[in-house]
A and B are shown apart, each in its own frame.
Chain A
């Protein structure tokens, strides 16, 4: 079945450091890919998405590119802030299956000032 694998955390960075959170997927067909963010005690918010190969999603300084050849969708940000501390989830959407999402385990990001 479809699956998503994320790098294990927690990831601890100093403010203004460069961030990469790796995400790879296994899927039949051509899924859409998403990054969601969860702040403490809250639900998930969509951060960015990409719907086809070579698409780049971007939002709030975060970027991720849909790489079909490596089945990856790594999240990057050039300069993190303390306010970016959260849990980040990579997910794929199974086409034709009622928009169901398959999530990775999540990566905790901690940014120190």
Chain B
């Protein structure tokens, strides 16, 4: 089955530690995205990538980093510089186009808790 997988589902981290969230897709999509979801708020874009070895900052990139070494993978690192990292993180992918009507497919999410 084609889809997006995120791991782990739950993640706990101590303050001051970096942590990497995994996102893999087998949909052959060019574009991939990372969002952060907080209670009572919509999704906010952290980073996105339209092609391998290239990515752009979203609205809340500070304290996060990404890489895109393979088309299928787009890992997100939450660094110690992120002041309030506890949140639900969602990865998505889509085909690439300029029409704006291409659906984004979402993974099941990773809930990160900083202890």
B2 beta carbon closer than 8 Å to chain A: no
A111 beta carbon closer than 8 Å to chain B: no
Q: Closest A residue to B104 by CB, please name it.
A: A101
Binds A, one of B12-20, B67-75, B79-87, B94-102: B94-102
Q: In the bound complex, what is the Cα–Cα distance between A92 and B90 (angstroms)? A: 18
Q: Number of B interface residues, CB 8 Å?
A: 31
| Interface of B toward A, CB cutoff 8 Å | 4, 6, 31, 33, 40-45, 48, 50, 56, 58, 90, 92, 94, 96-109
| Interface of A toward B, CB cutoff 8 Å | 4, 31-32, 34, 36, 41-46, 49, 51, 89, 91, 93-101, 103-106
Measured between C-beta atoms, what is the minimum distance from A93 to chain B in Å?
4
Q: In the bound complex, what is the Cα–Cα distance between A36 and B44 (angstroms)? A: 15
